[in-house]
Amino acid sequence: MMAVANLNRDADSRIFNWKQFLKFFLTLAIVYIWGSIYPLSSLIGIRRDVTPPLGIPKKIQKHWGQYAPWFPVEKYKRPPKGCEITQVNILQRHGARYPNSYDSYDESIKRLMEADKFVDSKLDFLSEYEYDLEEEELLPFGASQSFGSGETVFRRYSHLVNAKNIPFVRSSGKSRAIHSATNWTVGFAAASHHRYNPILSVVVPEEQNNTLNNDCPNAGDGTKQKRAWLKVFAPPIAKRLEKAAPGAKVSNDDVFNLMAMCSFETLAKERGSEFCQLFKDREFKMFGYHGDVEKFYKTGYGEPLGPVQGVGYVNELLARLTGRPVQDHTQYNSSLPFPLGRSLYVDFTHENLMVAVYSAMGLFNISDNPLSTKKMEKESNRVWIASKMVPFSSRMVVERLTCSGRKKMHGPKLVDFDDEDWEDEHEHEHEESEGGGRQAGEHVRVLVNDAVQPLDFCHAGKGGICSLDAFVESQDYARRSGDGDFEKCYN
| CA–CA dist 308, 314 (Å, integer) | 10
Closest CA to 88 of 185, 24, 169, 184: 169
Decide the pairing of beta strands 83-93 and 344-349. parallel
| CA–CA dist 258, 231 (Å, integer) | 16
One-letter amino acid at 113 equals M
Find out whether 159 and 414 touch, Cβ atoms under 8 Å: no
Instruction: Confirm whether 94 is a catalytic residue.
Output: yes
Extended beta strands in 329-370, E state:
344-349
| CA–CA dist 461, 489 (Å, integer) | 36
Residue in 94, 290, 350, 410 annotated catalytic: 94
CA 329 to chain centre: 26
> Residue 483, by phi and psi: left (phi above 0), alpha (psi -120 to 50) or beta?
left
| CA–CA dist 276, 67 (Å, integer) | 14
> Which residues, at least 6 apart from 17, have a Cβ–Cβ distance to it below 8 Å?
none
Find out whether 169 and 200 touch, Cβ atoms under 8 Å: yes
Catalytic site positions: 94
